[in-house]
Amino acid sequence: MSFPTTTNAIDFDSARLQRHGFAPQHSLVRPALDYEQLRRQLDLQLQTSLEADKILSMLFQSIQQLIPLNALNFKHLPTDLRLELGERARHNATYSMTHEGKQLGELSFQRDHRFAEHELEQLESLLSSLLYPLRNALLYRHASLSALRDPLTGAGNRIAMEQSLIREFEIARRQQQPLSVLMLDIDHFKGINDTHGHATGDEVLRAVTNAVKDRLRNIDQVFRFGGEEFLIVLTNTSRESAALVGERLRSAALQLSYPVTGRPLDLTVSLGCSTLLPGESSDSMLRRADTALYAAKRKGRNRLEMAG
């Protein structure tokens, strides 16, 4: 189903000129008092955090005081940030935000009825308050991720994986939620390197990583475990749901068919899945997933095996 979408591009350099009064005559409107109060509130609030998700959450809650909204969606691919707040709705006002030629992400507001022209003007003006807080938060996120990210694939590295497992394990225990992991291995990867070269192998690793990320929720996490092996941490996910995710990822790899010298290089992956057991440690859960992965490879590859 496709929904009506209003898509705009915001250049914050131009927005800054408008804020100081250098705007075309037809776009000048006399702001209402409540709008000005909200503007001042945003200018102060959005500078109180360096976490992009908190900044966007404050923006969403504040704008709702003036303009009714159902949802806010944001994505910034360079830092792998995807955020969904509220419930999806029919009509969109979407902005591709830039500053000094650099992308600051795509922001979408949603609700069940169309946005009026004056509401769009207010949204666009209020977004100029987001410029520096969001830019600084994205720079901070990028710096933080660089230390925790595999430079080749963009997946989390082993340090990030260990930190995430500790955090997710504690949450699962405290809130009595299920926690599942998938171990994924690219089949016959050594043969790809030996036959087509390591540059092709690197491209395959990146392609598989991106395919996996595109088919996960924004709360799930992907880590490069080593070589051609990846760990996917599935938050609050039962054994049955994890099996469905694993099959989805296996199918996604089959659809890649990576091209090499004009011919498709068919790709398959094998997966092992385990779900945290009562009283089990995170290390034990990982070992069971790893054992299930090797069972999948022994049984012919291109399959998912569930840990016992």
Strands of the chain (E only): list them.
Answer: 5-11, 71-76, 81-86, 91-99, 102-111, 179-186, 221-226, 229-235, 258-260, 263-265, 269-275, 304-306
- State how far the Cα of 121 lies from the Cα of 60, in Å rounded to an integer: 16
Closest C-alpha to 154, from 202, 231, 224: 224
Predicted pLDDT of residue 186? 97
Q: Is a pLDDT exceeding 70 seen at residue 53?
A: yes
Predicted pLDDT of residue 265? 84
Give yes or no for a contact between 43 and 131, defined as CB atoms under 8 angstroms apart: no
Burial 143-161 (b: 16+ CB within 10 A, else e): eebeeebbeebbbbbeebb
Q: 27 or 130: whose pLDDT is higher?
A: 130
pLDDT digits (tens, 9 = 90+) for 239-249: 999 999 999 99
What's the whole-model pTM score? 0.61
Q: Is a pLDDT exceeding 60 seen at residue 27?
A: no
In CATH terms, are 5-145 and 147-306 the same topology? no
pLDDT band at 263 (very low <50, low <70, confident <90, very high): confident
Give yes or no for a contact between 99 and 86, defined as CB atoms under 8 angstroms apart: no
Closest C-alpha to 77, from 2, 159, 142: 142
In the block, tokens 């998938």 appear at 182
- State how far the Cα of 168 lies from the Cα of 179, in Å rounded to an integer: 8
For residues 25-45, average pLDDT: 69
Return the active site residues.
Answer: 228
Q: What is the mean pLDDT of the chain?
A: 88
- State how far the Cα of 90 lies from the Cα of 160, in Å rounded to an integer: 37
pLDDT band at 11 (very low <50, low <70, confident <90, very high): low
- State how far the Cα of 271 lies from the Cα of 247, in Å rounded to an integer: 9
**What single DSSP character describes residue 149?**
B
Packing angle, helices 117-126 and 12-19, rounded to 10:
100
Domain ranges across the chain? 5-145, 147-306
Predicted pLDDT of residue 266? 83
Amino acid at 92: N
Predicted pLDDT of residue 264? 79
- State how far the Cα of 182 lies from the Cα of 306, in Å rounded to an integer: 9
Determine whether domain 5-145 maps to CATH 3.10.580.10.
Answer: no
Percentage of the chain with pLDDT > 90? 73
Topology classification of domain 147-306:
Alpha-Beta Plaits (3.30.70)
Predicted pLDDT of residue 205? 95
Predicted pLDDT of residue 30? 41
Predicted pLDDT of residue 90? 93
pLDDT band at 19 (very low <50, low <70, confident <90, very high): very low
The burial of 178, by beta-carbon neighbours within 10 Å (0-12 exposed, 13-18 middle, 19 or more buried), is given as: middle
pLDDT band at 100 (very low <50, low <70, confident <90, very high): confident
pLDDT digits (tens, 9 = 90+) for 58-74: 999 999 999 999 999 99
Q: 263 or 23: whose pLDDT is higher?
A: 263
Predicted pLDDT of residue 22? 47
The burial of 20, by beta-carbon neighbours within 10 Å (0-12 exposed, 13-18 middle, 19 or more buried), is given as: exposed
Amino acid at 121: E
Closest C-alpha to 104, from 136, 152, 149: 136
Both tokens of 73, joined, read: 């969606």
Secondary structure of residue 147 in the 3-state scheme: coil
pLDDT digits (tens, 9 = 90+) for 76-96: 988 888 899 999 999 999 999
pLDDT digits (tens, 9 = 90+) for 107-164: 999 999 999 999 999 999 999 999 999 999 999 998 887 888 899 998 999 999 999 9
